[in-house]
Amino acid sequence: MNIKVSHVKAYVLIACTLLLIVMSTTAAAGIQVELVEPKKFSDYTLSGQSKKSSIKTIKKQFNVMFSDIAKDVIDENDVLTIEITNLDLAGYIEYFFGSQNREMRILKDPEHYRIEFKYVLKSSDGKVKTSGETTIKEFVHHNPRKFTNYRYSHVGYMREDLESWLKKTFAE
């Protein structure tokens, strides 16, 4: 009896996993974010993570963020491809920080960040609607509400500037 229950649980787990994968790919179908030679970025290392893990985390967070902010700006049949060519996260890594001697990203007020990327917006038939390159370089000020909203994201503080850029660039 226990064996049958464990098989049922396994099938349910597999079905749920496949459903989540399908839903996540469907939601982000019109947005593609790529990191071009991320090991050459100015500053991409996250505290407490290896460089390889930092790259995966940043790519995932940019995919989620761009998918979320572009859904109201980009037509659902269009495909927006963003190739991030350079990234300089706000702040710097302080090693052997605190009593536990761990690494931590330190942000002083004001702190700047920079993101450089190429973009291509294609219609459903593959025709290029618009393309270009841009650099966003802004200052991050210590606004407690802003950091509280994005405390689980390493790139969340860029959201408002990227949203503004999207609306300006793709307004019809």
Q: Is 165 exposed, middle or buried (0-12, 13-18, 19+ CB in 10 A)?
A: middle
Q: Which pLDDT score is estimated for 133?
A: 97
Is the pLDDT reported for residue 166 higher than 90?
Answer: yes
**Which amino acid would we find at residue 87?**
L
d(CA 35, CA 73): 22
Q: What is the mean pLDDT of residues 19-29?
A: 49
Summarised one tens digit per residue, pLDDT across range 120-160 is: 999 989 899 999 999 999 887 666 555 555 556 788 888 88
Residue 5 pLDDT exceeds 90: no
The answer to whether residue 28 scores a pLDDT higher than 90 is no
Domains of the chain, start order:
30-170 (3.40.50)
Phi-psi region of 133 (alpha: psi -120 to 50; beta: other; left: phi over 0): beta
